[in-house]
Chain A
Amino acid sequence: RKEVEQDPGPFNVPEGATVAFNCTYSNSASQSFFWYRQDCRKEPKLLMSVYSSGNEDGRFTAQLNRASQYISLLIRDSKLSDSATYLCVVNALGPSGTYKYIFGTGTRLKVLA
């Protein structure tokens, strides 16, 4: 099983739709969770952290389910500019005894006019 798994998509949704992505992780000791956004041929950029109690930033809501070991990202009222690849990131204990971040391969979203 991969350490971090995402549905690659693409998710094609009309403008104004609500769309949700899930990401599962295998390491129950993971402590930090993030969603990143990557536009075509650009570097990933931090979208939001994911907190245990769930958190919201405008149209974006992130949630963590520790029992089932997944995180989710909900985007409401989708805009054309939301079209991108969304990367799930989870930290995991590395062989040197310190934590490192593991990236999922990303879920591609296309918002259609």
Chain B
Amino acid sequence: GAGVSQSPSNKVTEKGKDVELRCDPISGHTALYWYRQSLGQGLEFLIYFQGNSAPDKSGLPSDRFSAERTGGSVSTLTIQRTQQEDSAVYLCASSLRTVGYGYTFGSGTRLTVV
């Protein structure tokens, strides 16, 4: 597609439930990133995938968070046993490479845990 597509755009879930957030990057972009942003806060790095390299998971806040990228394209971020502090906007971005190229962000998934 022309841009980075994320779904769903909004998700309300009950505490303790699992959620899956999807990101469809720009075709041909080898680098894919997940960030989250709480209201009024900066971007918090979660995980990134670069081609066939092992993903950099150093930003995942707990083992309840995991992400996959299948076939070098679509990525799914899974949050298990959601907590209220997981409420945030989850942003996905893709880039042609990680050196010299800026990101294109999707419009995000707004997650609310009640």
Residues on A lying within 8 angstroms of B by beta carbon are 31-32, 34, 36, 42-46, 49, 87, 89, 91, 94-106
Contact = CB atoms under 8 A, between A and B. Distances in A.
A96 B98 contact: no
27 contacts: A31-B99, A31-B100, A32-B100, A32-B101, A42-B107, A43-B105, A43-B107, A44-B91, A45-B105, A46-B102, A49-B102, A89-B102, A95-B58, A96-B50, A96-B53, A96-B54, A96-B55, A100-B45, A101-B33, A101-B95, A101-B98, A102-B45, A103-B42, A103-B43, A105-B41, A105-B42, A106-B42
B25 interface: no
B104 interface: yes
Interface residues of B, number: 26
Contacts of A98: 50, 53, 56, 98
Interface in B54-82: 54-56, 58
A103 B56 contact: no
A96 B99 contact: no
B104 A94 contact: no
A56 B42 CA distance: 26
A99 B56 CA distance: 10
Q: Which 4 A-B pairs have the closest CB atoms?
A: A105-B42, A43-B105, A46-B102, A99-B98
A34 B48 contact: no
A91 B105 contact: no
A32 B105 CA distance: 17
A42 to B, nearest CB: 8
Most chain A Cβ neighbours within 10 Å, of B33, B41, B98, B108: B98
Contacts of B58: 94-95
B97 to A, nearest CB: 9
B48 A100 contact: yes
B14 to A, nearest CB: 24
A105 B42 CA distance: 4
Given A32-B99, A44-B91, 11 more contacts: A32-B100, A32-B101, A46-B104, A94-B58, A95-B58, A97-B53, A101-B98, A103-B42, A103-B43, A103-B45, A105-B42
